[in-house]
Amino acid sequence: MTMDRRDFIKVGATGVALAAGTRIGIGASDKVRVGVIGYGRQGAWNMGDFMKRPEVSIAAVCDVYGPHLNKALATAREKGNSPDAYTDFRRVLDRKDIDAVIISTPDHWHAVQTIDACESGKDIYVEKPIATSIVEGRKMVDAARRHNRVVQVGTQQRSADHFQKVVELVRSGALGKISEVRTWNVGNQYPQGIGNPPDSEPPADLDWDMWLGPAPKRPFNANRFGVSPKWFSTFRWFWDYAGGMMCDWGVHWIDIVQWAMNIDGPARISAVGGKFGLQDNRETPDTLEVIYQYPEWVMMYSNRELNGRGPIISETTGHKGGGITFHGANGTLFVDRSGFEIIPERKRRTPDSQPESMMEGMVVKGVERHPEHVLNFLECMKSRQKPISDIEAGHTSTTTCHLGNIAYRTGRAIEWDPKTEKIHADSDASRLLSREYRKPWKI
């Protein structure tokens, strides 16, 4: 199947976006009282876009780190809100007058807080990746369904028009048979990386034990805590709290791939890599290659932190440090947050060959749509329909990332059944499907 420029541009987000439910507006007089749990850089961004909505009132802010809590309180007040401040998220969930919570805490907290929020009758906007294990993610989905809660995951690329157009294009068959998809993130932090600070006493205005929560008891380390003006929190590079770049950024690309290919997960996963050059105290690899086998195609995820030169997409686009390429018989489609490009195949002509694709080097610019992602959540709170990044979709995307890490950490290929969410005949790998919680925390 081929599609010319005019026909393609007519293919908007309708077919994809309506899967999340027809939107109905929320009037400015219908106030949605929101509690903010976690106010690091991501939490600040989330709260900022929620506060742009006239129907939103920030009723509570919560953080275990004093400077973050004070900043959240001051920022909310500057925008005309009058929130109460808490250091224990359970006090926010106890509030009967709060309709929804934004969970922007480190990954190891997402499952506990989301499940507790469902049980307390709150709708939830939770950051990706949704959890630090596959079993946690499934329990989050079950809680959302059991308590009839709207749960939007912060995979905001789904709300961008150009990603929605890519999904429709891939599903239309215009690229021809897709046999391979590549995803990647590359950068260069050599050699210092995030540094190697010694363990120390926690800051006086940080509740370190509460920050650790269900994670193992560890001495305070500045990189485990990870707050820095130079970068997003470095807790992401420790297995106790997160899953490295595979889960932090890979989940964005993999979410779009599985959405476009209309599939819930791979059948076989293998991975190689290691920490080869960075002289810091991170635990996750600085170089990783994961191969995912699906029924009729393969996907690769690549991450390296020792060389930032990404692949050349085309003369128009040049090098890219992150993104997705769908490789079809009729052409290759590259997409990232700035837009997408189609590079047609130049096949050797034969007397009986089909005409070449009419998609002649199409370039479509795009922008990130986080405010629209917030709006979709708020509208679904009223309609009670599933949001565009429903918790189930967040779970399947996060699961695929965890499987890549499991294959890497065990050092062997694993066989996966997406329907039963079981690893075949590998007890060591199966143990990594869940994680042990430090008492008294449980889900």
Helix count and strand count (H, E) for the chain: 15, 18
Alpha-carbon gap, residue 171 to 188, rounded angstroms: 35
Q: What is the mean pLDDT of the chain?
A: 92
Side chain identity at residue 107, one-letter code: D
Backbone angles phi and psi of 293, in degrees to 5: -100, 120
Q: Which CATH superfamily is domain 8-157+372-390 in?
A: NAD(P)-binding Rossmann-like Domain (3.40.50.720)
Kindly list the domain boundaries of the chain, sorted by start residue: 1-7+168-200+208-368+391-443, 8-157+372-390
Mean pLDDT of 83-90: 98
- What ranges in 95-190 are assigned the alpha helix state H? 110-119, 134-146, 161-172
pLDDT tens for each residue of 269-300: 999 999 999 999 999 999 999 999 999 999 99
Q: Which of 1-5, 200-204, 365-369 bottoms out in mean pLDDT, i.e. has the lowest?
A: 1-5
pLDDT tens for each residue of 308-361: 999 999 998 999 999 999 999 999 999 999 999 999 998 655 555 554 544 567
Whether residue 344 is preceded by a cis peptide bond, meaning omega within 30 degrees of 0, is no
Mean pLDDT of 167-182: 98
Beta bridge partners of 273: 288
Question: Is a pLDDT exceeding 70 seen at residue 126?
Answer: yes
Q: How many other CB atoms are there within 10 angstroms of residue 169's CB atom?
A: 24
* Burial call 302-335: b when 16+ CB within 10 Å, e when fewer: bbbbbeeebbebeeebeebebbbbbbbebbbbbb
Which architecture does CATH list for 1-7+168-200+208-368+391-443? 2-Layer Sandwich (3.30)
Domains 1-7+168-200+208-368+391-443 and 8-157+372-390 share a fold: no
